[in-house]
Chain A
Amino acid sequence: DTGVSQDPRHKITKRGQNVTFRCDPISEHNRLYWYRQTLGQGPEFLTYFQNEAQLEKSRLLSDRFSAERPKGSFSTLEIQRTEQGDSAMYLCASSLAGSQWSGEKLFFGSGTQLSVL
């Protein structure tokens, strides 16, 4: 168990540029979540996948945000035409979930810190 890995740890970009973050979940975990966290706030849920299927994306912040999880393994989160308000920590989490919602522990990565200049 090597934990959830996120890359890069830090990203600095200019307003208007596109950025992509990668998340590698714990091996065998079937669920993968993306959260965003701004200073002083708790993590804000964005979207999640069950294997390769994206089951919830209504909380993605705008149509500039998109996520993929091809083949149900790693996932990418892309932000197009970045704005200064997109500056935040982007967190990924994975879990091994069965048919019940109880007892699902999320394991979080250390996040990607995005700064938009």
Chain B
Amino acid sequence: DAKTTQPPSMDCAEGRAANLPCNHSTISGNEYVYWYRQIHSQGPQYIIHGLKNNETNEMASLIITEDRKSSTLILPHATLRDTAVYYCTPRAGTALIFGKGTTLSVSS
């Protein structure tokens, strides 16, 4: 399984963009990068995923470097409800393998 490295915590002011980095230098060529988040006392929630190209949906944008060794999740206008643990997880088969993630704290 590819290993990931994420900062343990980040802070963001409400209304500003939150940029969450993830290093996945051992990712293999057919592994997608998935991002999930987990709000306290709930199960993880899917955010976005990508293989090589940058992706955008109604929740976030995903920027993947050309060498695919790292990616950045962007929440364009963070709100207080975006406070959560964010997980970056590569996957090629079987199941998602989660690390400890990044705890994002959004404050007013």
Contact = CB atoms under 8 A, between A and B. Distances in A.
Q: Do A and B bind each other?
A: yes
Interface of A: 4, 33, 35, 40-45, 48, 56, 91, 93, 101-103, 105-111
B98 A111 contact: no
Contacts of B80: none
A106 B94 contact: no
Could you say which interface size class chain B belongs to? 20 to 34
A101 B92 contact: yes
A108 B45 contact: yes
Most buried by A among B43, B97, B99: B43
B43 A45 contact: no
B94 A108 contact: no
Given A45-B94, A102-B51, 12 more contacts: A41-B100, A42-B100, A43-B98, A44-B98, A91-B44, A93-B43, A101-B32, A101-B91, A103-B49, A105-B46, A106-B36, A108-B42
B32 A102 contact: yes
25 contacts: A33-B95, A35-B98, A40-B100, A41-B100, A42-B87, A42-B100, A44-B98, A45-B94, A45-B95, A45-B96, A45-B98, A48-B94, A48-B95, A56-B95, A91-B44, A101-B91, A101-B92, A103-B49, A105-B46, A105-B49, A106-B46, A108-B43, A108-B44, A110-B42, A111-B43
